Structure formats: structure tokens, C-alpha cells
């Protein structure tokens, strides 16, 4: 009896695993080219709702930035 239940659970888990697909809700990352007057604050304020500090943290984390210095022409990934 236990072996049958285990087999049914295993088959169900396998079926769910094969049918699962990524939702794609996050979308593709957007590339942004830094302009001469841009700062992390201004980019975050334009592209993220709410407090820009959260957007700054996300930008730094996603682009492996160790400070706030940006260079015109630098390419950033907007998470």
C-alpha cells in the first residue's frame, strides 16, 4: 500500500515538474546608457516608483557598483 502511494506521489511530482514553466513576469532587463548629467538618484527616481534609495540599491547590486560614481556612456542594467 505504501509503495503505491509513494509511486503516485512520485509520478505526480514528475508531471508537475515537467509541466512547470517560468512565468516570465519579471520581463527582460532594460539596458540604460548613462548621460552626462545622470546620477544614480536621478536614474532611480525616473525608473522606480517610491523611494529612490531602494532603486539605487537595486542598481548598485545588479551592476556590481561599489560606489555612486557614474561615467557618461556607461551601460547599466535596470532590474
pLDDT tens digits, one per residue of 26-66: 667 789 999 999 999 999 999 998 899 999 999 999 999 99
Confidence grade of residue 8 (pLDDT, cut at 50, 70, 90): confident
Q: Is the pLDDT of residue 24 over 60?
A: no
Residue 23 domain flag:
no
CATH of the domain at 60: 3.10.350
pTM of this structure: 0.63
Does residue 43 contact residue 55 with C-beta atoms inside 8 Å?
A: yes
Residue 22 domain flag:
no
| Higher per-residue pLDDT: 29 or 16 | 29
Torsion of CA 12, 18, 20, 24, to 10 degrees: 170
pLDDT score for 3: 78
Residue 21 domain flag:
no
How far apart, in Å, are the Cα atoms of 45 and each of 1, 42, 59, 62, 74? 61, 5, 12, 16, 18
Does residue 78 contact residue 44 with C-beta atoms inside 8 Å?
A: no
Amino acid at each position: 500500500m505504501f509503495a503505491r502511494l509513494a509511486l503516485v506521489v512520485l509520478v505526480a511530482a514528475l508531471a508537475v515538474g515537467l509541466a512547470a514553466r517560468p512565468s516570465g513576469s519579471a520581463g527582460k532587463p532594460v539596458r540604460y546608457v548613462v548621460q552626462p548629467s545622470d546620477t544614480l538618484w536621478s536614474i532611480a527616481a525616473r525608473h522606480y516608483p517610491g523611494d529612490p534609495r531602494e532603486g539605487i540599491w537595486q542598481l548598485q547590486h545588479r551592476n556590481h557598483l561599489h560606489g555612486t560614481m557614474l561615467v557618461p556612456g556607461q551601460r547599466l542594467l535596470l532590474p
